[in-house]
Chains A and B, each alone.
Chain A
Amino acid sequence: MLVVDDSEAFRKVMIELLVRVGFHDTAEAKDYEEGMQVFRKERPEIIFVDMILPGKSGVELTKSMLSVDPESKIIAMSSIINKKMIREALEAGAKDFLLKPTNEIALNAVLTMWSD
């Protein structure tokens, strides 16, 4: 699992949640560049991508990751529900969307749906 978010505090909470629901193999990145670096190295099964990142956006990151590995499962995240942004993320290839701050129930539902 890879969490890409510019908020260190959110990344920490998200990693803790992932560990709590049974996913111990986790990595994190703060922006597009770091996200692509970790993605190329780790090839995580599921990537949680904040749509609003400093520099290149989450949608751009989604497209780049999928161009490297079309089988990647990307879950878009945002602290607001902007329908246009969610539509763009899904059109770019994201599988699902999580509202931040997320919780164990919503995270479990997404992981049940998309993890192998």
Chain B
Amino acid sequence: MSLLSRKAKAPRAGGEKGLGITRKYKLAPGHSYVVEESPPDISFDAFVNIVSTVDATSKKAMGLAVSRQHSELIRQKYGLEETPIYWLATRAGQDVISPTNLGILTHTLVQFVEDNPTGIILLDGIEYLVSNNDFNKVLRTIDQVNDHISQSQAIMIIPVDPRAFDQKELALLERNMEKIASKPKQ
């Protein structure tokens, strides 16, 4: 399969229809965020809220999601109609990215940032990527995408199940990203 066949589909002009509700997450452009949580409820809520609402300047963000969850399940649960969603799976098919093909994953995400410099990426399924690859390779993929995020006005959200990583791996994952607090303040 050619690399270009995995180029991120351009979101339809205008992206998701606005829900007419409040923008609840104020994430800074040009930053990547890690959310320590399982299941990834906050990450999905933030992603869906941002692609379905407008910011203070009435601008909407285009989104792209990658997840271990099947794209149709995500569409049904979160009402996403226009947002490209890629399923991380070993099965062949449209809008599927193999967990072992980090090159295509990187290309898809980087291309999206280049095409949508104010867009937002949800990268769910890091644990699945690590179970199919060397941890350092996954880290390099994230760093590479994060470099492009930093040079744009885009945002990336990465939910991480802290039980799946040791402390050193978690620290490496989080070193160039900001954290969205998932645990209630005591």
* B139 CB within 8 Å of chain A: no
Interface residues of B, Cβ cutoff 8 Å to A: 17, 19-25, 41-42, 45-46, 48-49, 52, 76-80, 180-182, 184-185
| Chain A interface residue count, Cβ-Cβ cutoff 8 angstroms | 21
Contact A81:B79 (CB < 8 A) given known A20-B184, A97-B19, A99-B45: yes
Question: Is B22 within 8 A of A86, CB to CB?
Answer: no
Contact code string A1-44 (vs B, CB < 8 Å = 1, else 0): 00000000000000001001000000000000000000000000
Q: Which residues of B contact A20 (CB under 8 A)?
A: 184-185
Interface of A, secondary structure class, is: helix
Interface residues of A, Cβ cutoff 8 Å to B: 17, 20, 80-83, 86-87, 90, 96-97, 99, 101-106, 109-110, 113
Q: How far does the Cβ of B157 sit from chain A's closest Cβ, in whole Å?
A: 12
Q: Closest B residue to A81 by CB, please name it.
A: B79
From B19, B24, B42, B182, residue with most partner A Cβ within 10 Å: B24
Q: How far does the Cβ of A110 sit from chain B's closest Cβ, in whole Å?
A: 6
Question: Is A80 within 8 A of B77, CB to CB?
Answer: yes
Q: Which residues of B contact A87 (CB under 8 A)?
A: 20
